[in-house]
Structure 1
Amino acid sequence: MFQNLTITKLVSAAVVTVLAVVIGFNSFTSVGVGKEKVGATFGKVHSEALTSGVHLVNPLADFERYDLQEMTYSWDNLGVPAQDNLKTSMDVAVTGHFLPGMTVQVRNDQGSAKGFMSNQVKRRVPAMIVEVGKELAKTSQDFYGETTLARMETSIIDRLNKELNQRGYHITAVKFSDINLPQVVTSAVIKTKQRTEEVNRQEADLKIADLKAQEKTAAAKAADASAAFNASAKKKAADAELYRVQKEAEGNKALARSVTPALIKLKQAEAQLKWDGRMPTTVMGESANVLMSMGK
């Protein structure tokens, strides 16, 4: 019996030791930087949140952790309709964080951080994007414009924060990416682009043809001008030759009129009287030597 009592005491001591270790271990909790913890004991939420550091706590309490640092959540291939009721597929990334000092309210209202994100953020964000997108985009193609997306981002952030700030959460950014138009719009855009390219090609061909026609016209005008110039030059040359011939004929006629019988006789006489370089002959003949002496 004494031996059984000793064993019982040893077991009890071991149990007490284990409980002491467990209680001692659970009597402390650490909180990381940029986070808060909110405890609850037997279903009652503590009135104050624990900030970064090590804290002595009730070992029977359980704690929920909330991130005060920004966290980003994404939605892939979210269908956003425009006013034409055609949905455009896009990826959306939303960044936000829990507000310091409001994590106690979050735990009272929503419980865990995971429950809050599921019930508040992940349900509200897609609904808000659809609502704002349909307000600002008249057609699906408007989602390709930077202005429409920028206006959507601003509007979504403002509207979400009006709803979430009072619940302890704040949205800092909304970004859109990988935007894909509806298939019917994409096909229409492709066909329109093809038609535009065909029209541009035809216009280019017409311009080329027009330029070639202009070149031919210019060449023809130049040829006509050259021919006209050559014809004018030939006519001027012919006129000049005719003028020369006429003047020469007129000169000949004038010369003919000036030759009279009296002029002819005068010219003959002048020809006879012209000295030929020989001495004059006498009646004595050319062979006679006559010595003539001049008187002193």
Structure 2
Amino acid sequence: MILIFLGVLILVAGTVLKRSASAGSRYGGVATTVGIVVIVLGIILSAFKTIPPGKAGVQTLFGKVQNNVLESGLHVINPLVDVTPFNIQTQNYTMSAIHSEGDVSGDDAIRVLCSDGLEVTIDLSVLFRVDKNKAPFIYQNIGVDYIDKIVRPVARTAIRDNAVNYQAVDLYSTKRDEFQSRIYKYIASNFAKNGMELQQILVRNISLPASVKASIESKINAEQEAQKMQFVLQKERQEAERKRVEAQGIADYQRILSTGLSDKQLQYESIKAQKEIALSQNAKVIIMGNGKTPVILGNQ
């Protein structure tokens, strides 16, 4: 487009020189020729437009936005049309308390008051993409700075409007998923009205006041101690039960022995044991009997 206008200026200048009576009039023909060449070159270059991958081209002709969108690739278009590329890939906008993580330098975390009056600090990442077919609408009604006009304020408003329905401790623990689901619906609905698609939101961190953190840690430690004590008591009960079963087994064994063995059986078992000792290489003299008629066995 610039080359076309430049060529027109050169052509007009050449025409003026040709009609003038000055000494420079002899250069009028050359200037006219150069102007025509520049115009033709500008038309050729402007008629071919390449859209990079992941982009969509929005066409504007004399300030009027065209509805047809140029997809990635090479296109032959009206040389007078201006093309504005729009990023249609997934984009990530992060608001974080850590200076090097967020899109805005410095502490950009969201600070909100919960229903219990406590202030919490929330880090949030928003994953979204521009709807390719809605790119002309965005360009005409919002502009290319849609992140500053839509993404950032909508995300921060969603956090603040929904955090007031929760207590700080609930946001930190049991109702975190519910809170994230609610702000997702809020942001997705608003983005859809403005030609964008919300893909995912990530509540990356929720920081509580120091006093609340200390209270939660104390509660967790107490619960862990209680669980540890329950484990110890359970282990002691199991050990007591084991000892009871062992004692019962010994008592049953002794009862069976006392009621099931006769004197003759005991005498027979004694003789067997002493015989085995007598047959041993280490045995020298074995006295067997009930003390009245002893029997002496030896290895001689």
Same fold by TM-score, threshold 0.5 exceeded? Answer: yes
| CA displacement, residues 103-149 of structure 1 (integer Å, 9 cap, x when unaligned) | 1222222132x2x22211111110001112222x2x2122222x422
User: 2:205: which partner in 1?
Assistant: 178
User: 1:155: which partner in 2?
Assistant: 182
Unaligned runs of 5+ in 2: 1-20, 97-108, 233-300
User: 2:44: which partner in 1?
Assistant: 24
| Cα 1:72/1:63, change in 2 over 3 Å | same
Structure 1 contact 157–172 (Cα < 8 Å) conserved: no
TM-score (norm 1): 0.58
CA distance in 2, matches of 1:16, 1:125: 53
> What aligned pairs does 1:93-108 form with structure 2 within 5 A after superposition?
93-108=125-140
User: 2:171: which partner in 1?
Assistant: 143
TM-score (norm 2): 0.58
Task: State the AA in 2 paired with 1:15.
Answer: G
> What aligned pairs does 1:256-275 form with structure 2 within 5 A after superposition?
none
CA distance in 2, matches of 1:22, 1:130: 52
> Is 2:121 the counterpart of 1:121?
no
Structure 1 contact 153–173 (Cα < 8 Å) conserved: no
**1:17 aligns to what SS in structure 2?**
helix
Alpha-carbon offset, residue 2 of structure 1: 10
Identity of aligned residues (%): 19
CA distance in 2, matches of 1:155, 1:187: 28
Structure 1 contact 75–92 (Cα < 8 Å) conserved: yes
Q: Say which of 94, 118, 124 aligns to 1:92.
A: 124
Q: Say which of 31, 39, 46 aligns to 2:59.
A: 39
Alpha-carbon offset, residue 82 of structure 1: 1.6
User: 2:34: which partner in 1?
Assistant: 14
**2:67 aligns to what SS in structure 1?**
coil
CA distance in 1, matches of 2:22, 2:186: 76
Task: State the AA in 2 paired with 1:82.
Answer: C
User: 1:287: which partner in 2?
Assistant: none
CA distance in 2, matches of 1:39, 1:99: 16
- Report which of the two structures shows the higher radius of gyration computed on alpha carbons: 1
CA distance in 2, matches of 1:47, 1:192: 60
Q: Say which of 43, 51, 72 aligns to 2:92.
A: 72
**Aligned residue-pair number:** 199
Unaligned runs of 5+ in 1: 208-296
Q: Say which of 41, 45, 51 aligns to 2:71.
A: 51
User: 1:244: which partner in 2?
Assistant: none
Higher relative contact order (CA 8 A, sep 6+): 1
**1:49 aligns to what SS in structure 2?**
strand
Alpha-carbon offset, residue 7 of structure 1: 1.9
